[in-house]
Amino acid sequence: MSHATLRALDSVADRIKQHRQADPRGILVVEGDSDRRLLSRVFPERWVVFIAGTRDSVPTVIERLQALELRRFAGLVDRDFDSLVSTVEASGLPVFSYQEADLEAALIIGPWFELFLPEYASAEKVTNAGGADSVRQKIVNIASVVGAARRANAINSWGVDFDKLNFSRKLREKDLSFEHESFSQAVVGRVGSKDPDAVLAELRACASAPGARNGFRGKDALEVLRKGLKRVYGSRTIEHYEDLAGALRLSANSRLEEVSPFPAIFRQLSQ
């Protein structure tokens, strides 16, 4: 990290220390503003939420708070596909993560998806597709392919920007089938390797690894759903997956405390 970044993180820790003098509630450090909005809305009196700015910055802020000898604080990050969470868990820092790659993935595989889907999809088209479970399985399967590529990207430090890659362009609108090989070639092109066959082999290895079928970002699955709502599951145009993500999070408001890792966070901040 640069000196400027370290100073900024010191500033976050100092603000938390100053706040603690007037407010004894537990402190939760999160990645960004969307996390703070969600948690402040769902748990308005439970704790105070501070933003670190990036995922990598959360553990650094938590280390600073430990050095300041504060009590009742924790961090929350997306699990994603790199080694950050496993490294932090091994260090013993009170930084928690969802069991899936992100909160949206945890909500999609839980009971909230069935509550959320009818707000956007056609009941008739969902029934014709086999029901909500079939819709969920479809979007998760495609998102898992993208997740495997994200994992390969993290493991091999390829530096592929998946936002610029825009995988949803590989989805056929008429039936929501995914052009897997075309997607893989697009990843290879972004890597820019002199050995494209080796890149393809790594992509296939990550796709076939144990647990790969369940390794997905919920935001990717919602992007697949967004595309499907135009024709396959409905007749609606949703401008951005974040619109769906916000609605999905709202559907879980009353029971979000049941989603891992929130029970563990409650315990940490009550000590």
Assigned token pair, 105: 């993935």
* Same domain assignment for residues 24 and 145: no
* Same domain assignment for residues 79 and 160: no
Q: In angstroms, rounded to a whole number, what is the distance separating the alpha carbons of residues 232 and 86? A: 38
Tell me the three state secondary structure of residue 152. Answer: helix
* Same domain assignment for residues 150 and 212: yes
Handedness of CA 252, 258, 259, 261 (dihedral sign): positive
* Same domain assignment for residues 140 and 200: yes
Domain that holds residue 247: 105-254
* Same domain assignment for residues 93 and 109: no
DSSP 8-state secondary structure symbol assigned to residue 44: T
Reference 124, options 224, 1, 235, 21; nearest CA is 235
Residue 245 covered by a domain: yes
Are 178 and 223 in contact by the 8 Å Cβ rule? The answer is no
* Same domain assignment for residues 19 and 65: yes
Q: How many domains does the chain have?
A: 2
Tell me the three state secondary structure of residue 47. Answer: strand
* Same domain assignment for residues 28 and 145: no
Q: Residues of 117-147 as b/e, b for ≥16 C-beta within 10 angstroms?
A: beebbbeebbeebeebeebbebbbebbbbbb
C-alpha dist (Å) from residue 28 to 45, 50, 90, 121, 164: 12, 6, 20, 35, 31
Q: In angstroms, rounded to a whole number, what is the distance separating the alpha carbons of residues 220 and 241? A: 8
Residue 129 covered by a domain: yes
pLDDT in tens, the chain (271 residues): 555 555 565 689 999 999 999 999 999 999 999 899 989 888 888 899 999 999 999 999 999 999 999 999 999 999 999 889 999 999 999 999 998 899 999 999 999 999 999 999 999 999 999 999 999 999 999 999 999 999 999 999 999 999 999 999 999 999 999 999 999 999 999 998 889 999 999 999 888 876 655 589 999 999 999 999 999 999 999 999 999 999 999 888 878 888 999 999 999 998 7
